A and B are shown apart, each in its own frame.
Chain A
Amino acid sequence: GDSVTQMEGPVTLSEEAFLTINCTYTATGYPSLFWYVQYPGEGLQLLLKATKADDKGSNKGFEATYRKETTSFHLEKGSVQVSDSAVYFCALNNAGNMLTFGGGTRLMVKP
Chain B
Amino acid sequence: DSGVTQTPKHLITATGQRVTLRCSPRSGDLSVYWYQQSLDQGLQFLIQYYNGEERAKGNILERFSAQQFPDLHSELNLSSLELGDSALYFCASLAGADYGELFFGEGSRLTVL
A interface residue numbers (CB < 8 A to B) = 31-32, 34, 36, 42-46, 49, 51, 89, 91, 93, 95-99, 101-104
**Cα-based distance from A89 to B35 in the complex (angstroms):** 14
Given contacts A97-B48, A98-B33, A104-B43, contact A43 B106 (CB under 8 A): yes
Q: How far is the CB of A28 from chain B (nearest CB, A)?
A: 14
**Cα-based distance from A46 to B98 in the complex (angstroms):** 16
Q: How far is the CB of A45 from chain B (nearest CB, A)?
A: 7
Q: How far is the CB of B33 from chain A (nearest CB, A)?
A: 7
Q: Are A95 and B106 in contact, CB atoms less than 8 angstroms apart?
A: no
Contacts between chains A and B (CB distance < 8 A), count: 56
CB<8 Å pairs between A and B, sample of 11: A32-B101, A43-B2, A46-B103, A49-B101, A91-B102, A95-B98, A96-B98, A97-B48, A97-B98, A99-B101, A104-B43
Q: How far is the CB of A62 from chain B (nearest CB, A)?
A: 15
Q: Are A93 and B99 in contact, CB atoms less than 8 angstroms apart?
A: yes
Chain B residues with Cβ under 8 A from A49's Cβ?
101
Chain A residues with Cβ under 8 A from B31's Cβ?
97
B56's closest neighbor in chain A, by CB? A98
